[in-house]
Amino acid sequence: MIPDSHKDLLENAYPATVGTTMPDGQPQLTVIWTLYEGDVIKFSTREPSQKVDNLKQRPQITLMIIDPENMYRYLEVRGRAAITQEGAIDLIDRLAQKYMGRGYYDNMDPDRAQADRDQRVVVTIKPEHVVANG
């Protein structure tokens, strides 16, 4: 569903923004790292968080990535999110390699690292509507 012309925005280490919906209807935005696998987009976060709470109640999600070389070229993906703990540690390490060139927990205090591992979840976005501009 992601057009070939814009797959590079997901494959490169560009930050994305996801939008979820608060209980009062207000949008809530967060900058994230993404991994594009097959026909889904994944990101890692910790629970509890506002975005996870929002997605549990309202799984609709929008993701946007803007080309850093051309702000008029962007990818918007609307869909539904699924949340799981399975694969969470592997995903954050893969994302850290992509975005930072090292493992996520490489230089982290062991106690802090364990606390983070205990809270880590995977959010998977199944695209339902895609806008590729530019």
pLDDT in tens, 12-35: 999 999 999 999 999 999 999 999
Token output for 120:
């880590």
Question: In the predicted model, is pLDDT for residue 97 greater than 90?
Answer: yes
| Domain chopping of the chain, boundaries | 4-133
List 112's β-bridge partners, or say none. Answer: none
Token output for 26:
């207000």
- For residue range 54-77, what is the model confidence (pLDDT) as tens digits? 999 999 999 999 999 999 999 999
**Residue 25 Ramachandran class (φ > 0 left, ψ -120 to 50 alpha, else beta):** left
| Mean per-residue pLDDT, 81-106 | 95
Architecture (CATH level 2) of domain 4-133: Roll (2.30)
pTM of the model: 0.94
Contact 43, 96 (CB under 8 A): no
DSSP state letter for 123: E
In 3D space, the residue among 129, 131, 128, 112 whose CA is nearest the CA of residue 120 turns out to be 112
Alpha carbon distance 127, 27 (integer Å): 19
